[in-house]
Amino acid sequence: MSKLTLMTSTLVVKDGYQWRKYGQKVTKDNPSPRAYFRCSMAPRCPVKKKVQRWIEDKRYLVATYDGEHNHDVDCSIGQSFASAKSSSMAGFPSPETSNTSRFQSNIALDLTLSGSSQEKKRPSSHDSVEEYHNKKMKIEEYVASVTKDPNFTIALAAAVASSITDLPKPTIL
DNA sequence: CGTCTTTGACCAGCGC
DNA sequence: GCGCTGGTCAAAGACG
């Protein structure tokens, strides 16, 4: 739950649009809760987005877009999109990608979690090394297929740019 | 004080 | 017709 809260706490995600969460539901096919978002940049924008953790690997987020934006990306947001505050939505496709791939699913790579020490993706006591390698193979397979997509390069560039421009400040605790 | 998130309740569609 | 499931609404609380 806390991870989901983390996921949904950021309103401006890196697809350049502003989203408002209006619901959350646990679906049958995926134990991870699915969150429902609406575009809040334009009151009449019919676009909806469903965000759910990928069942194959919960480090990844899957965002499904429904509809088409009837407005442009806010320039300020669109620009800050490259250097937006780091959120777990990192790796979203660029605004252009989102528009051209309307009515299609977009995969959002959760890059921040990959570096999270809290993530328990290492082989645990009940997670054999073989199983771990199996999962790793699946991920690599998925990555290989994704990297063939030219849009992925754009998304990756945006994600890398954001991580560079938003280097964590030295926190004094 | 205004905005946003959370979450339980409600509704509609679909399969049996 | 009934039950299940996905999607949406709306009230309450949290936060800046």
Structure confidence by residue, pLDDT tens digits, A122-161: 444 444 555 556 655 655 555 555 555 555 555 554 544 4
Neighbours of A74 (CB within 10 A): 17
Give buried/exposed letters for A76-101 (b at 16+ CB in 10 A, else e).
ebbebbbebebbbbbbbbbbebbbee
Residue with minimal CA–C1' distance to C8 is A23
Q: Tell me the pLDDT band of A95, cut-offs 50, 70 and 90.
A: very low
Residue A159: which of A59, A83, A100, A103 has the closest Cα? A83
Q: Model confidence over A8-33: pLDDT tens digits?
A: 333 344 566 778 888 888 887 777 88
Q: How far, in Å, is the CA of A172 from the C1' of nucleotide C8? A: 43
Q: What's the predicted TM-score (pTM) here? A: 0.54
Residue A77: which of A94, A102, A91 has the closest Cα? A94
Q: How far, in Å, is the CA of A38 from the C1' of nucleotide B7? A: 17
Q: Report CA torsion sign: A14, A92, A10, A121.
A: negative
